């Protein structure tokens, strides 16, 4: 059984997106462009409403999946498929943009604490022009494993008897929200073929058996490929564990569009500007 260790520790880069929403970006930067199949990972949130009140007005996407997970606050989603609703704490929005979707995500709160995460997952070429799909997972639908040492919310994948709502996905994703008690151990088996990372939200942890630099609060930890993951809580800690099977195809980026060639990006831009983007 191959022990998983720390490959690289990455401090998020401060950035802004949408109408000036302040965020911490840890995948999709000069430090790490992408981790196949993951194209971007952001933590967004603040207790200062000026950092988020502008939200993310209507904008397009093609060729990717966006996964939004809320921990605090409320956002209203609306898109060109007709989907509409308010995301509350613990809710997940999993959107396959496919051939094209236009959506907005705006704060549904005048002030208070906002905290959430957005993950971009690449789509294989054969799925990039599929019809868009929107999935909403209410916090009450998310299965939870809980014992004296840990609490695990399973968004995708499986832990013990708790299973995620996302099934039959081409990258076999794992997406766990883990809370661990100080001095206790979280053990989990991953597929050696997958690329995996931990995003530490709060607290301090140790990964594997080898010594590594201190990791605490809002830090991305890239993991070596292997099977057995062991995470020890040096304090009470909360983190996300995300893993997926690489797609292994060329990537061409153009802002909110991710395709396989530059020509396909130019086509997406043309479709958007001539009004034929949404099928």
Query: Each residue's pLDDT tens digit in the chain (279 positions)?
Result: 599 999 999 999 999 998 889 999 999 999 999 999 999 999 998 899 999 999 999 999 999 999 999 999 999 999 898 888 899 999 999 999 999 999 999 999 888 999 999 999 999 999 999 999 999 999 999 999 999 999 999 999 999 999 999 999 999 999 999 999 999 999 999 999 999 999 999 999 999 999 999 999 999 999 999 999 999 999 999 999 999 999 999 999 999 999 999 999 999 999 999 988 987
Beta carbons within 8 Å of 169's beta carbon, 6+ residues apart: 156
Domain contains 85: yes
Domain contains 279: no
DSSP code, position 167: -
Domain contains 58: yes
Which SS3 state, helix, strand or coil, does residue 222 take? strand
* Tokens encoding 68: 């939004």
Cα maximum dimension of the chain: 58
Domain with 45, as residue range(s), is: 6-274
Domain contains 1: no
Which SS3 state, helix, strand or coil, does residue 270 take? helix
Q: Is the dihedral of CA 66, 156, 14, 27 positive or negative?
A: negative
Query: What CATH number has the domain bearing residue 180?
Result: 2.60.120.10
Domain contains 51: yes
Q: How far apart are CA 226 and CA 194, in angstroms?
A: 8
The residue assigned the tokens 């995470």 is 231
Residue 92 CB: number of other CB atoms within 10 A?
A: 26
Give the pLDDT confidence score for residue 247 in this predicted structure: 98
Domain contains 123: yes
Give the pLDDT confidence score for residue 110 in this predicted structure: 84
Total domains in the chain come to 1
Neighbouring C-alpha atoms within 13 Å toward the C-beta of 8: 11
Which SS3 state, helix, strand or coil, does residue 206 take? strand
Domain contains 127: yes
**Shortest CA distance to 218 belongs to which of 117, 121, 119?**
117
Domain contains 185: yes
């Amino acid at each position: 059984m191959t022990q998983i260790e720390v490959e690289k520790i990455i401090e998020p880069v401060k950035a802004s997106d949408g109408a000036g929403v302040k965020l911490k970006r840890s995948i999709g930067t000069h430090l790490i462009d992408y981790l196949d199949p993951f194209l971007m990972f952001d933590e967004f949130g603040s207790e200062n409403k000026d950092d988020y009140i502008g939200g993310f007005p209507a904008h397009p996407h093609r060729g990717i999946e966006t996964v939004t997970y809320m921990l605090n606050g409320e956002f209203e989603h609306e898109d060109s498929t007709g989907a509409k609703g308010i995301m509350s704490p613990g809710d997940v929005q999993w959107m396959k943009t496919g051939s094209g979707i236009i959506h907005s995500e705006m704060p549904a709160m005048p002030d208070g604490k906002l905290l959430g995460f957005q993950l971009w997952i690449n789509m294989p070429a054969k799925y990039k022009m599929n019809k868009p799909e929107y999935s909403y997972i209410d916090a009450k639908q998310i299965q939870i494993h809980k014992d004296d040492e840990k609490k695990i919310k399973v968004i995708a994948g499986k832990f013990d008897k708790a299973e995620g709502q996302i099934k039959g996905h081409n990258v076999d994703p794992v997406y766990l929200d883990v809370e661990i008690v100080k001095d206790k151990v979280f053990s989990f088996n991953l597929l050696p073929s997958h690329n995996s990372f931990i995003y530490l939200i709060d607290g301090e942890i140790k990964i594997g058996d080898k010594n590594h630099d201190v990791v605490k609060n809002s830090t991305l930890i890239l993991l070596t490929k292997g099977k057995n993951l062991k995470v020890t809580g040096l304090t009470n800690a909360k983190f996300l564990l995300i893993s997926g099977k690489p797609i292994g195809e060329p990537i061409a980026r153009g802002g909110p569009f991710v395709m396989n060639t530059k020509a396909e990006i130019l086509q997406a831009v043309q479709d958007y500007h001539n009004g034929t983007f949404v099928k």
